[in-house]
Amino acid sequence: MKSILNLIIAIPTLLLSTSCDGQIKNAKTVTVKIDGNCEMCEKTIESAANQKNVVSLDWNKDTKQATISYDDSKTNPDEILKRVALAGYDNEKFLAPDEAYAGLPGCCKYDRNRKKSEIEKTITATTDTTAIEQSVVANQFKSIFDSYFELKNALVKTDTKTAGLKAVDLSSQLNKVDMSKLDNSQHEVWMKVYKDLIAESELIATAKNIEDQRIQFMDMSENMYKLLKVAKLATPVYYQHCPMYNDGKGANWLSMENAVKNPYYGSQMMSCGKTIETIK
């Protein structure tokens, strides 16, 4: 009796499974891990992988496991996983290009645990404690400047969305600064500019269009310039000037590169402007 029952269950299951797999010839199945977060990820991953009658991929957002059925005579798991990575998702075999990962919507930005951190190009070993302390201070400001440069690059690209996100980063970096670790001159400057800087970064973060962001960025750059004078960064920074912006009154900004890339006009007048001071 029991065996008959088993049979009854088995037949439809068998039918079902054959009707599903029937489309893919020479089918082979493998399970692999693909990183990702949410349902949106699932959609992107599956549509990147799937090919009618050749590949069918099913990804589970909780286990991060993907079951891939594919036509062994036409493709292989490497090809499929490469497409998934090109869509922005790291997996066992491939790491997504940085551009592809950066292009994912916010909710899909999974933690990139598979990606090995870059080995620091210069590891400076110092035994002098004051030097270490100073470098901590420098580091405090360094991350602020790093965020500022990223914001500037977004404005160069006329990318309102990224600029907004970078402004959020900047404001959180500004809030992190530990004032007790600043020396006198730094403290003095910091007290003058930090409120303005936080206000400006918040205005950029909430601005709806690029014009509003650029106006705030003009004021912010003046404050950053003052801060830079006392920051003692390791690398030179270029203070640059565009004579046209702000109704011909001109505006300045800071850049890591000597080559001019104008954040006030972007590609409209990319190389308008010149370096007026190099701060080392």
Partner 1 sequence: MNYLKYIIFGIATILCNHLFAQKIVRYDLFVRDTLVNFAGKEKKAYSVNGQIPMPELHFTEGDTAEIYIHNELHTETSIHWHGLILPNEQDGVPYLTTAPIKAGTTHIYKFPLVQNGTYWYHSHTKLQEQVGMYGAFIIHKKEKQELPEYTMVLSDWTNMKPFEVHRRLHNANDWSAIKKAKIQKGAAQSYADAITDKSLGIKLMNEWKRMLAMDVSDVYYDKFLTNGKVEDEAAQFKARDKIRLRIINGSSSTYFWLKYAGGKINVVASDGMDVEPVEVDRLIIAVAEIYDVVVTIPSDSTAFEFLATSEDRIRNTSLWLGSGIKQLASPLEPLKYFEGMKMMNGMIKMDGNLDDMGMNMSLQQMDMNVVMYPEITGRKNDKKTKEHDHSQMENQYNSNALSDIVTLNYSMLKSPTKTKLPDAPTKILNFTLTGNMNRYVWSINNKTVSETDKIMIKKGENVRIILYNNSMMRHPMHLHGHFFRIVNGHGDYSPLKNVLDIMPMETDTIEFAATESGDWFFHCHILYHMMSGMGRIFSYEDSPPNPQLPDPKKALKKLYRDDKEFHFMFENDFASNGNDGEMMYMNTRWKFQTEWRLGYMDKHGYESEAHFGRYFGKMQWLFPYVGFDWRYRKTHSDEIEKNIFGQYNTKALRSALCFGVQYTLPFMIVADGRIDSDGKLRLQLMREDIPLSKRLRMSLMYNSDFEYMGGLKYILSKKIALSAHYDSDMGLGGGFTFTY
How crowded is residue 211: how many other Cβ atoms within 10 Å of its Cβ?
10
* Cβ atoms of residues 45 and 77 within 8 Å: no
Comparing CB distances to partner 1, the nearer of 93 and 241 is: 93
Contact positions with partner 1 (CB under 8 A) in 105-144: 114-119
Binding partner 1 by CB under 8 A: which of 21, 72, 92, 211?
A: 92
Comparing CB distances to partner 1, the nearer of 141 and 253 is: 253
Residue 99 interacts with partner 1 (CB under 8 A): yes or no: yes
Which range of residues in 65-73, 104-112, 154-162, 218-226 is near partner 1 by CB under 8 A?
A: 154-162
Both tokens assigned to 253: 């900004």
* Shortest Cβ 255–partner 1 spacing (Å): 11
Comparing CB distances to partner 1, the nearer of 77 and 198 is: 77
Binding partner 1 by CB under 8 A: which of 96, 104, 251, 254?
A: 96
* Dihedral angle, C-alpha 84, 89, 94, 96, nearest 10 °: 110
Comparing CB distances to partner 1, the nearer of 54 and 96 is: 96
Contact positions with partner 1 (CB under 8 A) in 157-196: 157-158
DSSP letters for 37-86: -SHHHHHHHHHHH-BTTTEEEEE-TTT-EEEEEEETTT--HHHHHHHHHH
Binding partner 1 by CB under 8 A: which of 21, 39, 98, 277?
A: 98
Sheet holding 251-255: strands in order across?
251-255, 237-242, 274-279
* Cβ atoms of residues 274 and 240 within 8 Å: yes
Rg (CA), the chain: 27
Which range of residues in 17-25, 127-135, 153-161, 180-188 is near partner 1 by CB under 8 A?
A: 153-161
Binding partner 1 by CB under 8 A: which of 77, 164, 250, 266?
A: 266
* Cβ atoms of residues 104 and 94 within 8 Å: no
Residue 274 interacts with partner 1 (CB under 8 A): yes or no: no
**Maximum Cα–Cα distance for the chain, whole Å?**
93
Comparing CB distances to partner 1, the nearer of 79 and 219 is: 79
Both tokens assigned to 159: 């990318």
Q: Which of 24, 81, 26 shows the shortest CA–CA distance to 55?
A: 24
Burial readout 164-190 (b: 16 or more C-beta within 10 A, e: otherwise): bbbbbbbbebbeebeeeebeeebeebb
Comparing CB distances to partner 1, the nearer of 83 and 227 is: 83
Contact positions with partner 1 (CB under 8 A) in 21-80: none
Comparing CB distances to partner 1, the nearer of 40 and 269 is: 269
Binding partner 1 by CB under 8 A: which of 97, 105, 236, 243?
A: 97
Comparing CB distances to partner 1, the nearer of 22 and 97 is: 97
Binding positions for partner 1, rule: CB under 8 A:
82, 85-86, 92-100, 114-119, 153, 156-158, 261, 266-271
